[in-house]
Amino acid sequence: MSSEVVPMTRAERRAAGSLAAIFGLRMLGMFLILPVFALYARELPGGSDPALVGLALGMYGLTQALLMLPFGMASDRWGRKPVIIVGLLIFALGSFLAAGADDIYTVILGRALQGAGAISAAVTALLADLTREEKRTQAMAMIGSTIGLAFALSLAGGPLFYRWIGVPGIFAMTGVLALFAIVVVKYVTPNPGLTVFHSDAQTNPRRLRDVLRDHELLRLDFGIFALHAAQMAMFLIVPLALHQAGGLPAEAHWQVYLPVLLGSFVFLVPAVIYAERYGRMKPVFVAAIGLMFLAQLGFALFIGEFWAVVATLLAYFIAFNILEATLPSLVSKVAPAEAKGTAMGVYNTAQALGLFFGGAVGGWLAKGWGQSAVFVFCAVLIGVWLVLAQGMRPPLRVKTQMFHVGHLDAAAVQRLATRLAVFAGVESVTVLPEEGVVMLKVSQLGWDEEGVKHVVQGGD
């Protein structure tokens, strides 16, 4: 058994760091408006209509979902960097349009343009081009961590930026950050030597049918849809509740969000470690969904009570952080190795659609039936997810390992798959001769890494 850890090369660290920065710069600006937009929108013509405010918040998700896959396919044809730069320019244009908006309708258009710069798939593909197969998961984790950090910083920082520059200033800053991200792409991110398709990182239309027929993956897709629908609906109401029930001005809301977030992180790390180390992923996952369900009921019952809202926010963020951390891991464990990128593409699309659905339906419910109705809607969504999650199979304690094997004929593919399958800890073997890689699902409890590498490297 080998425990040797091969570090990322300098070029891989540069690629992962710069692309994580691009995601972070873009998402920081997006998240900063969440805790304050509902209050700001009331100052705009048309902003007194909760349905239009919800549409403004959620519209980004609709255009993102519609254009994510086309942008990824365009990057295969015209190159990663040109497509990413075009997407960032569209995103910046939408940001500046929203910054100069003098009514809610223009903000909606600006948000639609922001989402139309749907570069996520293209950035992921570029990262795959620039990293070795065995280091790609680590590089992806850097991007995921950056997005999570941007979200946390935004909730605490959004109210402060609202005080200093207002929401138009936040939109303008978002546009400037997008332009700065273009500089990072052009001058910091390495150029890919060769643009190829990567099954672990990109959506393969030929695999969509298989992914969409997989009940375990569909449970997870519905979960991320429901989680982010509830998130967007929540931010339509909670800022107003903190202001109305607690008399807290928008610029002071960080005094609630910061301690609540810090408190929730105290529970996150032990929960994830317990789930991964002791094979208790399903119980932890289902318990977090249950806590999220209770949080939605708490909001529905006590949205007019300031301290009850604060306590419920703590429960909400404990559940949200655990679910946000474990869902991508579950998709990776459940998805067939050769369709991992496709499964993540569907998952990301479901997340974006959830943002739109939560904003649009939440605003419509708030307009017609009041604030509590929004959280009843969220509780129903999460309740359905809770029922679905009860029926999920406990995920195997596996991780994906990839190795480059070069061109192989059909006979060599069969021989390699047969030889690798016999090693201890190897749960499944997938050889993709068109990509020159072999993908293994191996036990997290240990696997014969030395023996596998010997065979992959051409040993007898």
For residue 153, give both structure tokens.
Answer: 């910083």
Domain span at residue 402?
Answer: 398-456
pLDDT (mean) for 360-372: 96
For residue 428, give both structure tokens.
Answer: 């499944």
Counting Cβ atoms within 10 Å, is residue 281 exposed (0-12), middle (13-18) or buried (19+)? Answer: buried
Share of the chain above pLDDT 70, in %: 97
Shared-domain flag, residues 421 and 326: no
The 3 state secondary structure assigned to 424-450 is: CCEEEEEEECCCCEEEEEEECCCCCHH
- In this predicted structure, the answer to whether residue 132 has a pLDDT above a threshold of 90 is no
Shared-domain flag, residues 43 and 75: yes
- Span 261-300, pLDDT tens digits: 999 999 988 998 888 888 899 999 999 999 999 999 999 9
Give the chain's domain count.
Answer: 3
For residue 138, give both structure tokens.
Answer: 């680590």
List the one residue out of 154, 151, 92 whose CA is nearest residue 119. Answer: 92
Are the CB atoms for 238 and 306 separated by under 8 Å?
A: no
Are the CB atoms for 362 and 54 separated by under 8 Å?
A: yes
Domain end position, chosen among 161, 184, 202? 202
pLDDT number for residue 168: 97
Shared-domain flag, residues 27 and 159: yes
Backbone angles phi, psi at 430, to 5 degrees: -130, 120
| Residue 64 in domain | yes
- Span 159-208, pLDDT tens digits: 999 999 999 999 999 999 999 999 999 999 998 876 677 777 788 888 89
Report the SS3 class of residue 429.
strand
For residue 266, give both structure tokens.
Answer: 């105290």
pLDDT (mean) for 421-439: 85
Counting Cβ atoms within 10 Å, is residue 246 exposed (0-12), middle (13-18) or buried (19+)? Answer: middle
- Span 290-303, pLDDT tens digits: 999 999 999 999 99
| Residue 1 in domain | no
Counting Cβ atoms within 10 Å, is residue 10 exposed (0-12), middle (13-18) or buried (19+)? Answer: exposed
- Span 5-53, pLDDT tens digits: 567 888 889 999 999 998 888 888 778 999 999 999 999 999 999 999 9
Shared-domain flag, residues 365 and 438: no
Work out the mean pLDDT of the chain and round it to a whole number.
90
Q: Which residues pair with 400 in a beta bridge?
A: 441
Cα-based angle 156, 257, 237 (whole degrees, multiple of 5): 110
- Higher-confidence residue of 112 and 205: namely 112
Are the CB atoms for 361 and 233 separated by under 8 Å?
A: yes
| Residue 35 in domain | yes
Q: How confident is the model at residue 460 (pLDDT cuts 50, 70, 90)?
A: low
Shared-domain flag, residues 419 and 284: no
Find which of 12-26, 115-129, 186-200, 225-239 is predicted with most confidence, using mean pLDDT: 225-239
Report the SS3 class of residue 190.
coil
pLDDT number for residue 459: 60
Q: How confident is the model at residue 381 (pLDDT cuts 50, 70, 90)?
A: very high
| Residue 214 in domain | yes
Pick left, alpha or beta for residue 398 (phi over 0 → left; psi -120 to 50 → alpha; otherwise beta). beta
Which residues, 6+ apart, have CB-to-CB distance to 23 below 8 Å?
Answer: 120, 123, 143, 146, 147, 150
- In this predicted structure, the answer to whether residue 385 has a pLDDT above a threshold of 70 is yes
Question: CA 460 to CA 458: how far, in whole Å?
Answer: 7
Query: What CATH number does residue 432 fall under?
Result: 3.30.70.100
pLDDT number for residue 102: 95
pLDDT number for residue 5: 52
Domain end position, chosen among 355, 379, 395? 395
| Residue 2 in domain | no
Shared-domain flag, residues 154 and 186: yes
Shared-domain flag, residues 13 and 77: yes
- In this predicted structure, the answer to whether residue 62 has a pLDDT above a threshold of 80 is yes
Report the SS3 class of residue 3.
coil
For residue 46, give both structure tokens.
Answer: 């048309």
Shared-domain flag, residues 412 and 386: no
Shared-domain flag, residues 42 and 82: yes
Share of the chain above pLDDT 90, in %: 62
Q: Which helix (H) or strand (E) holds 232?
A: helix 215-246
Are the CB atoms for 249 and 160 separated by under 8 Å?
A: no
pLDDT number for residue 194: 67
| Residue 14 in domain | yes
| Residue 221 in domain | yes
List the one residue out of 375, 319, 162, 145 whose CA is nearest residue 254. Answer: 162
For residue 435, give both structure tokens.
Answer: 């990509």
pLDDT (mean) for 125-151: 84
Domain end position, chosen among 173, 202, 231? 202
Query: What CATH number does residue 265 fall under?
Result: 1.20.1250.20
pLDDT number for residue 2: 39
Shared-domain flag, residues 58 and 20: yes
Shared-domain flag, residues 359 and 381: yes
Shared-domain flag, residues 130 and 215: no
- In this predicted structure, the answer to whether residue 438 has a pLDDT above a threshold of 90 is no
Residue 166: half-sphere exposure toward Cβ, Cα within 13 Å: 10
Are the CB atoms for 112 and 96 separated by under 8 Å?
A: no
List the one residue out of 57, 27, 50, 63 whose CA is nearest residue 353. Answer: 63
Which residues, 6+ apart, have CB-to-CB distance to 10 below 8 Å?
Answer: none
- Tokens 């208790």 — which residue? 280
| Residue 34 in domain | yes
Backbone angles phi, psi at 8, to 5 degrees: -65, 145
pLDDT number for residue 3: 39
